[in-house]
Structure 1
Amino acid sequence: MERRLSAILAADVVGYSRLMERDEAGTFDRLRTRRTELFEPEIASHHGRVFKLMGDGLLAEFGSVVDAVECAVSLQRGMAERNAAVAEEERFNVRIGINIGEVIVDGDDRYGEGVNVAARLEQLALPGGICISGKVAKEVEKKLAFRFDSAGRQKVKNIEEPIDVYHVRIDASSPRRILHKRGISRLWWALGVPAAIVALLAAWMALYYPGAETSPVVSNTIPSVAVLPFKDLSVDKSLGYLGEGVANDVIAILSRFSDIAVVSRTSSFAYQDKEGDIRQIGKELGVGYVVEGSVRKEGDRVRIVAQLVNAKTGDHVWADRFDKSGTDPWALQDELTGKIVGAMTGEFGAIRKADYSQAWGKDSTNLAEYDYYLRAESQLNLYTKEGLERSGEISRQGLQVFPRSPLLTVELGWSHWLKVALLHSSDPQVDLQEAERLVNQVLADKNLSPQVTRLANWLNAWLLTLKRDHDGAVVAMNKAIAAAPYNAFTLTDAASIFLQAGQTEKALELTDVAGARDPALSWFVNYVRGFIFIVLGKNEDAVEVLKTTEFADAPLQLAIAYMRIGRQADARAAVEKMLKLAPGATIQSWRQTWNFRDPSILDQAAVDLAHAGLPGSPTQ
């Protein structure tokens, strides 16, 4: 029996069964074309060989792991280029996994754990993404310019030992930077936003100012977090794997937020089973916050306690307890992790609230760019006329100090757009034009941070929607999601963009995902679901969710649903509530905040609102 060391690439198409159900012959032909025109030539040009074809995927062997990774990146870039030219419902999104290990040679086929691990890694990859093992990352770390985002050690089906998992950051082209601490050279990766070995600011400088050296200090640009392994408090000490797993998952998910910098697992797990002052740990890791917690089990109930600590003061910012019954440890881990992350992150999470408090606690003569942003954002998120005006004022003040700040520029753009969207604008056209000017100014910069990329493309998606460029809006929204794929607030609002573009099922799917990730965001999720249900003709369902929220124009959407189930009195009461919240609201001002690909949706809704008593003409 011949054995040899090989790099194995596994690839498959996401949602292939759904595509086949829709168009079996067309899907098969297009997939065959992708294989013959892209996959097989690229694999061959990188000195690889396809040794197995499945219905929606393939396995390939490479003698060089460097060739395998470079080939995978070329394949995903090639797929992205080809997807851009076809309708979204016809696109192929491919996942790729790469492992290096010993394989068994059986004629033209290959077997063994080296192949099995590659297949499991492929299942962990994001659509359009590449997932590699720790062995691969170690082998190529000094040979390739791509960055790798650690997802920690993960347990996968039929593989006994957990695997070190990394995601390849395909869009990164600059070399990684190796920093030093106490004479030891180490390579660190942050997931989603650069993080430092010693200081998160150091990595930020390394990414945007290659060659620059900096001393270890906490970043004053975005909040920085370290996640320690959760302590096993079970009687028989049998939950160590769960404590590590939860911390790994929290690291992996937090690192996908564009406005949070997360220290790598290698760094934070160095403090496992060590008692110490959180302030000292925070100082050594160069972070502003530390997440710690514990796991215990009573019967089939798992209890996890998590807390967020200010690493400068040692004060507790947030703490909560999460309980779940069940016998599947991986399902328990997934659900509890989602709840922990949801409570800490997003525009309304514990980390952002703590940052708001710190920004307002500073002397106004000593504010950094990010402090101005936090102050403006805290006012923006009040969603009142006064709050939006105040947010705009703070952004403009910040731009006087930091005149070229993309972050403050896009924040100012958001204040103009939200005045229109929330029916508080005295001149909607002027505000929309100013929002468009500001977002175009930001997007002209090709070196945006992930945080600004998210905010700018998100805002641009709304502005393009109002201009009836729904395809462009979807592209922009996908860019915003790609910059922060775990941000429940962004995903929820993205549903409104997809809804107006005619992708109703996609919109409903996004709200399901966002609602599961952050149950505390139900007021916003239900608001967006309300219009989705109206479009689907599920007006009773729309009433149920819209009764739980008064965000934005929720009372007007509720009035539409009431009219369609024959409850005219309730519809009029809902319109009266809206007019108390936004006295200047009219049918015309409301119509300027929505623009469906199918214009009849808005036309009929305007008629319903006219019958419910909203001032103005139902026709534009």
Structure 2
Amino acid sequence: MERRLTTIMAADLVGYSRLMAADEEGTISRLRDARTYVIDPAIMEGGGRIVKTMGDGLLVDFPSPVLAVRAALLMQRNLISRESPQREDRRLRFRIGIHLGDVVIDGDDILGDCVNITARLETIAPAGGICISRAIYDHVQGKIEAGMTWLGPQSVKNIPEPIDVWQVEVDGTAPSAVRLSGQARASIAVLPFQNFSATPDQDFFVDGLVEDVITELSRFRWLFVIARNSTFTYKGTAKDVRKIARELGVRYVVEGSVRRSGDRLRITVQLIDALSGAHIWAERWDRPIADFFDVQDEITRRIIAGIEPELGAHERGLALAKSTDNLTAWELCHRGFAELLSFEAGSQATAEKFLRQALEHDPNFALPYAYLARHRYALVLWGRAADVPVAVKEGLSFATKALEIDRRSDIAYAMMSLLLTVDGRAAEAMPVAEQGLALNPNYAFLHFAHGMAAVRLRDADTTIRAAQNAIDLSPHDPSMFAFKTLLGIGLMLRGEPDDLSTARMHLREGASFERTTYYPFIGAALLALRAGNTDEVRIWISDALKKFPNLNAEYVREAAHPFYEGSPYCDYLDRLIEQGLPPGEKRLIEE
């Protein structure tokens, strides 16, 4: 089967059925003249070949992106001029989409995703306008006499990944109605790092590091990451970061430098909000360079651990700062997640409101569904679920819906795994977490989900490893209290001589956060009880009741039994009652 790389243009006449109904013969005659005097000459000048016509549209193959866009501009400008004497509702107006990609040759026809994407780009264009993909933009930038406006990543029918779209400006044409997509992801470009080493031949190491960072950031589904081929065109240039960001159509830029001196390597990286010019995050590492590639892997992990959480926090801050009357689906989603992470009693209802509003804006947006699943998990975790089984069932339904929309949603995999574990189905939860980790090994919350399933399966070593991974990957995570608690519980389960004192330390840290749950308090109390230290047990129970006045043994038994059942601690809960934990009926921890 023959294949080749080519530039495809799709053009479609706007309102064809309406025009034909109003004046069938006149429309056919004017369309024939437009083809003869405007459209075909423009295509011929650009070296294009008309693959097929569809009555009101045509598909054209061009030898280059620049020739295709120049032909489209010539066609649209001349057609606007030619049609200007007609009434507005009678004018012939074409929408044009252009994309560069691989096609399958089938006789005189061409097939494949490239053709499908081009057709979708055409539907985004306004009447008389032109929309192009990033592949085209990268080739025509600076080579056409027209401005280009970034419309952001656009989700289109039957195409699994959003398409990064630009509108080519044509005088007399309105802006595209879609503008920036309501669910446009945060966009970031990792620029080539500067090589300040004494020997320029270290470029291979510097470029390899940047390529690894781009690859690993791309695993996060909520991030739109510009490809290497686009960012590396700026290598060796001295352009202003804000200008580069505008040209690439991104809000965030990562830049850095590498300096090698002797057997030491110094790497500096910073994350910039190009819209405001603010530096969101910066870090520096000094390492011995005994092994280039070991250092490369380590630094890549540390860069990702720094950038991703800080970027998420910045996006939530931007959403919180905006008026709730003027939020996009993306902003509503992050506003809801920010409320969810505030851990205040009233914030849970507010979080759900914003997340559901995001879905009203865009029902095919996977992220709000994933966050709604996390919302239900949070209700159980914080003792705020009126009915734990119902909350778990709803959460699993939300996670399933998120994965139906986006099969690579790391957040949805994490939540499905956690909710299955809470439901006592850890054997099912474990492979779900592992599948998510195969897609994105850099997402700390997925490691946490993996560890929670391992606790239920009494796999202490996996629990400890997963918790430590979560801590290392996101050292400033809002859920650090949970990561520390999980690590403490894993060490409790393993129970080696040095483990219990280390477990006590991590549980104490988990309990010390202002925003924490009762889990580290109960875990530390169980640990003290096993050691026979009843005075410490009473202190932990007293501290827990001060923070969670409605805490009682019955709620702990229902919400936490999957983690203690079958362990050396399963019979200790009743003994905590003897030390001051109210037996109580199951009720909300915070009402």
The answer to whether the superposition gives a TM-score over 0.5 is: yes
Matched, 1:334 2:297: yes
**C-alpha separation between the residues in 2 aligned to 1:212 and 1:334?**
30
Query: Are the counterparts in 1 of residues 336 and 350 from structure 2 also a CA contact under 8 Å?
Result: yes
Q: Which residue of 1 aligns with 2:487?
A: 529
**C-alpha separation between the residues in 2 aligned to 1:210 and 1:352?**
21
Matched, 1:603 2:570: yes
CA RMSD of aligned residues (A): 3.5
Matched, 1:181 2:181: no
Q: In the TM superposition, what are the counterparts of 1:492-511 in structure 2 within 5 Å?
A: 492-511=448-467
**C-alpha separation between the residues in 1 aligned to 2:162 and 2:450?**
38
**Superimposed CA distance per residue, residues 347-377 of structure 1 (whole angstroms, 9 cap, x where no aligned partner):** xx11011111221232322211111110111
Q: Which residue of 1 aligns with 2:333?
A: 373
Query: Are the counterparts in 2 of residues 218 and 286 from structure 1 also a CA contact under 8 Å?
Result: no
Q: In the TM superposition, what are the counterparts of 1:459-608 in structure 2 within 5 Å?
A: 459-521=415-477, 523-537=481-495, 538-550=499-511, 551-552=516-517, 553-596=519-562, 599-601=565-567, 603-608=570-575
**C-alpha separation between the residues in 2 aligned to 1:337 and 1:210?**
25
Matched, 1:303 2:266: yes
Query: Are the counterparts in 2 of residues 496 and 528 from structure 1 also a CA contact under 8 Å?
Result: yes
Aligned with 1:249: secondary structure? helix
Q: In the TM superposition, what are the counterparts of 1:310-459 in structure 2 within 5 Å?
A: 310-345=273-308, 349-399=309-359, 401-402=361-362, 405-425=365-385, 427-429=386-388, 432-440=389-397, 443-444=400-401, 447-449=404-406, 453-459=409-415
Aligned with 1:384: secondary structure? coil
**Deviation of residue 291 (structure 1)?**
0.3
Aligned with 1:585: secondary structure? coil
Query: Are the counterparts in 1 of residues 369 and 401 from structure 2 also a CA contact under 8 Å?
Result: no
TM-score normalized with structure 2 length: 0.66
TM-score normalized with structure 1 length: 0.63
**Deviation of residue 311 (structure 1)?**
2.4
Letter in 2 for 1:544: M
Aligned with 1:258: secondary structure? coil
Residue of 253, 262, 266 corresponding to 2:229: 266
**Superimposed CA distance per residue, residues 43-88 of structure 1 (whole angstroms, 9 cap, x where no aligned partner):** xxxxxxxxxxxxxxxxxxxxxxxxxxxxxxxxxxxxxxxxxxxxxx
Matched, 1:227 2:215: no
In structure 2, relative to structure 1, the CA distance for the partners of 1:576 and 1:326 (3 Å cut) is: farther
**C-alpha separation between the residues in 1 aligned to 2:347 and 2:572?**
29
Aligned with 2:303: secondary structure? helix
**Deviation of residue 177 (structure 1)?**
5.2
**C-alpha separation between the residues in 2 aligned to 1:343 and 1:433?**
37
**C-alpha separation between the residues in 2 aligned to 1:350 and 1:466?**
29
Stretches of structure 2 lacking an aligned partner (at least 5 in a row)? 1-100, 106-111, 119-132, 142-147, 168-178
Aligned with 1:226: secondary structure? strand
**Deviation of residue 292 (structure 1)?**
0.2
**Deviation of residue 540 (structure 1)?**
2.0
**C-alpha separation between the residues in 2 aligned to 1:210 and 1:238?**
37
**C-alpha separation between the residues in 1 aligned to 2:261 and 2:346?**
50
Residue of 215, 220, 244 corresponding to 2:166: 215
Matched, 1:248 2:215: no
**Deviation of residue 286 (structure 1)?**
1.8
**C-alpha separation between the residues in 1 aligned to 2:397 and 2:390?**
11
**C-alpha separation between the residues in 1 aligned to 2:504 and 2:204?**
44
In structure 2, relative to structure 1, the CA distance for the partners of 1:523 and 1:279 (3 Å cut) is: same
**C-alpha separation between the residues in 2 aligned to 1:200 and 1:565?**
62
Query: Are the counterparts in 1 of residues 372 and 398 from structure 2 also a CA contact under 8 Å?
Result: no
Query: Are the counterparts in 2 of residues 530 and 543 from structure 1 also a CA contact under 8 Å?
Result: yes
- Number of residue pairs matched? 436
Query: Are the counterparts in 2 of residues 610 and 618 from structure 1 also a CA contact under 8 Å?
Result: no
Query: Are the counterparts in 2 of residues 338 and 518 from structure 1 also a CA contact under 8 Å?
Result: no
In structure 2, relative to structure 1, the CA distance for the partners of 1:207 and 1:215 (3 Å cut) is: farther
In structure 2, relative to structure 1, the CA distance for the partners of 1:506 and 1:565 (3 Å cut) is: same
Q: In the TM superposition, what are the counterparts of 1:81-96 in structure 2 within 5 Å?
A: none
In structure 2, relative to structure 1, the CA distance for the partners of 1:459 and 1:209 (3 Å cut) is: closer
Q: Which residue of 2 aligns with 1:257?
A: 220
Q: Which residue of 1 aligns with 2:122?
A: none
In structure 2, relative to structure 1, the CA distance for the partners of 1:333 and 1:215 (3 Å cut) is: same
**C-alpha separation between the residues in 2 aligned to 1:559 and 1:547?**
10
Q: Which residue of 2 aligns with 1:275?
A: 238
**Deviation of residue 438 (structure 1)?**
4.9
